[in-house]
Structure 1
Amino acid sequence: MDTDMAVQPDLDSIYSKLMNEDDVRVCKDIPDSACNGVPQNFFLQVAANTLTSLGDTLINPKTTLAWLMGVVGAPVALVAWLVPIRESGSMLPQLFIAARIRRHAMRRGIWILGSLLQAGILLALGAVAWLFEGALAGALIIACLVLFSLARGLCSVAGKDVIGKTVPKTRRGQLNGLAGSLSGWAALAFGVYCMLWPPTEDDVLFYAGLISAAALLWIIAAWIYRYIDEQPGATEGGENAIREAFARMSLLRTDTTFRRFVVTRALLLCSALSAPYYVLLGQDIKSGIGMLGAFLVANGLANSLSAMVWGRMADRSSRRVLILSACIASLLGPVVLAVHFWAGLSATLHAWLFPVAFFVLGIAHSGVRVGRKTYVLDMAEGNRRTDYVAVGNTVIGAILLATGAFGLLSALVGAAGMLLLLSMVGLVGAMLAGSLPEV
């Protein structure tokens, strides 16, 4: 008890300094009974989200899992499914997951369950990498990734609702931003490691160990999350999961602001979808693990330096964050391509062009992520917030699967053409974000 009493004032002091608060604590849009526990809940969720974000970096399908598929000799056709399954697999079922979650007044336990399930599946994935090879190994890795994404959906829906009940408005963006910054620094360290001590092409033990280490991060995050002091929430709409799920889709028809936000979010996928094309163009200039490490360092440094800044800006206006970050991501493509095809560019500058561009893109993508997370959290409260998250993620998940057709288009226009196309899509998203109301 004495230890708890000593820790709480310290957390209050750190929280007040971080938020620039004096004596009056901001407690917007949360129950009065949750006000005193805000500092502790804030830092517990920062810690848990940082660990899971770092885990996501360690098992990134664009890098770690793609290389792992090559190491075990999996067919190339299976590699193409890694990113769509990883991103959309956790989103598509959320409409039905949310209907189930609404039956529970306390949603902290659902997040913990999802985190432990992800850890168990990753341990199984590590075992697959160690024990199997060829098409069987590839198929088992894809199966593990499907299950992992489904479990991730539990955390996505429940986690946003817990934040909405325990962290007040004007503070949620800083929570996401701080977690993003901390995980970004850790990702930066991992990138430096890959530059200095790159794994060999057939080092299965390295990848199996890396995946197992990521599983441990989810276990620790679940242990931390259990100490969050959550207040009971509303439980309406949990009687028939399927019926209620389809009923929630009507939000796209009846709620104009939400519909516009979903369309905006879909257009702003350009900040994520354009990343591989920067890597492809960079590989044409200089290949090898050194360039790969440079991209990892650029991405980690971008998140570390920008996420907290975006978080503070989002707490003032998440709409403006969406506009600004979308403009940066969209205008970057044409500028980089113009420099890339400039005949007078020296070889040294050419080699660094795409890692630097990847750094700027990472800053923009961090803003898009923080901005849209904060916007949807502040747009509603109670079960309506859960509905917004679930419906929005389900729609975006379906769109992400459809982006697999981009592979056919890229064969016609090349990486540079795809970068220009995605830049134009992003500009439309930035303009649509400008029409969103402030929340």
Structure 2
Amino acid sequence: MLEKLYDAVTGAGENGQAKKQDEPFNGVVHVSALSLTKIADGLINPKLVLAWLLNAVGAPGFLIGLLVPVREAGALLPQLILARWVEASTRRKWFWVTGSVIQGGSALSIAAAAMFLDGRAAGWAVVACLGVLALGRSFCSISQKDALAHTIPKQRRGSISGAAGSTASLGVLGFGILLAAGIIPLTTVNIAGAVAAAGAAWFLGAMIFSALREPAQEPKAGEDTVFSAFVAPFFQDAQLRRFVLARSLLTATALAPPFIVMLSASADEESLGHLGPLVLASGAASILSAYVWGRLSDNSSRKTLMAAGALGALTFAVTGLAGLMVEGSFGTGFYGMAASAAAIFFAQVTHEGVRAGRKLHLTDMASDSNRARYTALSNSLIGLVLLLGGAFGSLSDTTGPAWTLIVLAALCACAVPVAALLQEVQRRD
């Protein structure tokens, strides 16, 4: 039964690569656990859910502005330190389990803070708990690629991630439908309850992932685990430098959605008036594209990054130019809602492509001996880039969100030739 389910998910068949005895079971474990944690990510989305929650409890605006940088950069920057712990371990899955438990506990703490505190106290408590959650996310990020590589062969890994992304998107889409239809009223208690549900999903995901049949690895020790050894690959491997540059340029796809949301709002509309349609558009885009991007990445993660960069450049350029044509907004009424939802849809499709391509490219580019440090080094560097990306908020205040989107489109366009210089790394073992 498990083998049939795994074959359906990954496309494996009689002509596929020979599977190890535990591979079908491990495939189901990966898809199940990742689906739960991705649903949790959607329920606690800092750009929408936590921002609304802090606004509802009266937290200051500068604390709301800290949500995305704290979550994203906080999950990436610690990885150079964590990578040494991971490489010294015999099984990577326990780091992923630990990270999920940390995230689950942090989510429950955020929900409690929102229900029992208000104002500045609630804001600081949520930001602090989000910082702890980001640390747990860092544990998961640094260990997941190694655990995947040790239990699933090449040309199956992208399908695993894509299937989990599409499955999770169904859950997030359902959440958006319930919000848009008013079945879940936008109250502090209800949204805090959704955050608590995210915590439960992380706990369940940790329990499932603990059953992964991961073979023991020979731990690294000695001089090879000193800090300088983790930084050295950036100077020694030209392909890694190109990958980091391409990924840095493609962070534009993560930074762009808030500026699309800014364009979608008129001066007399409430800031969350389009929350339901935007959540639905984002969820639909993930459902329709995550698995497709994953399968494309199994064939060529390099071409996936090129395609995602080109689509991002087109999407953000068209959106920015449309914003300039109507003096900084998409307009009002149904037209405004439809245009902003369409822009969010294609922006999310682009972002799914970047995520699928860059995750699989790094997984397949690195070897078992250096995958953890390559992941840690690239993620830490991207954490710094995301912190610098906060400058786009100042640019938007000066020139407006439409021009900011045009600049982000240019970054995506520059990523295409950089990604073209990457090597094809998808080869059968």
State if a TM-score over 0.5 links the two structures: yes
Q: Does 1:414 align with 2:397?
A: no
Change (3 A) 1:142 1:22: closer
TM, length-normalised to structure 1: 0.91
Q: Scaled by the length of structure 2, what TM-score is found?
A: 0.93
Cα distance change of structure 1 residues 24 and 120 upon mapping to structure 2, 3 Å threshold: same
Summarize the alignment of residues 142-157 of structure 1 with structure 2, pairs less than 5 Å apart: 142-157=127-142
Q: Does structure 1 residue 313 correspond to structure 2 residue 296? A: yes
Counterpart position of 2:191: 207
Letter in 1 for 2:200: L
- Which AA in structure 2 matches 1:270? A
1:265 partnered with 2:265: no
CA–CA distance in 1 between the matches of 2:13 and 2:316?
43
Cα–Cα, structure 1 residues 179 and 19, in superposed 2: closer, same or farther, change >3 Å? closer
1:23 correspondence with 2:8: no
Query: Take 1:77 and 1:342, find their aligned partners in 2: how far apart are those partners?
Result: 31
Alpha-carbon distance in structure 1 between the residues aligned to 2:152 and 2:253: 28
Q: Distance in 1 between matches of 2:177 and 2:268?
A: 18
Instruction: Find 1:244's aligned residue among 208, 220, 226.
Output: 226
Secondary structure of 2:194's aligned partner:
helix
Paired residue type of 1:39 = P
Tell me if structure 2 keeps the 8 A contact 1:233–1:382.
no
| Cα displacement (A) at 1:350 | 3.8
SS of 1:309's partner is helix
Call closer, same or farther: CA 1:258–1:147 in 2, change over 3 Å.
same
Contact 2:179 2:185 in 1 (8 A): no
8 A Cα contact 1:234 1:382, kept in partner: no
Cα 1:135–1:346, aligned 2, differ >3 Å: closer, same or farther? closer
Written as runs of structure 1 = structure 2, the 5 A alignment for 1:108-119 is 108-119=93-104
2:307 to 310, 317, 324: 324
Structure 2 CA distance, aligned partners of 1:348 and 1:107? 49
Q: Percent identity?
A: 34
Give the CA deviation at 1:208.
Answer: 2.1
Match of 1:356 in 2: 342
* Aligned counterpart for 1:427 among listed residues 394, 400, 413: 413
The AA in structure 1 aligned to 2:406 is: L
Cα distance in 2, alignment partners of residues 339 and 72 from structure 1: 35
- Kept in 1: contact 2:87–2:220 (CA 8 A): yes
CA distance in 2, matches of 1:272, 1:392: 16
Separation in 1 of the partners of 2:179 and 2:188?
15
Residues 127 and 354 of structure 1, relative CA distance in 2, 3 Å threshold: same
Deviations 1:25-76 (A, max 9, x none): 525xxxxxx8111111011111111110110011111111111111221111
Flag structure 2 segments of 5+ consecutive residues without an equivalent.
none
Alignment partner, residue 282 of structure 1 = 264
Matched residue count: 421
SS at match of 2:58: coil
Contact kept, 8 Å, 1:298 with 1:355, in 2: the verdict is yes
Confirm or deny: 8 A CA contact 1:339 1:345 kept in the other structure. no
1:337-379: CA deviation from partner (whole Å, max 9, x where unpaired): 3444557999643431110111111111101100101100100
Mapping for residues 186-201 of structure 1, pairs under 5 Å: 186-197=171-182
Q: Residue type of the partner of 1:12?
A: E
Alignment of 1:327-346 (within 5 A): 327-342=310-325
Task: Establish whether residue 63 from structure 1 lines up as the match of residue 48 from structure 2.
Answer: yes
**Pairing 1:72–2:57 present:** yes
For residues 116 and 335 of structure 2, what CA distance do their matches in structure 1 show?
44
Q: Aligned partners of 1:346 and 1:81: how far apart in 2? A: 29
Alignment root-mean-square deviation, CA: 2.0
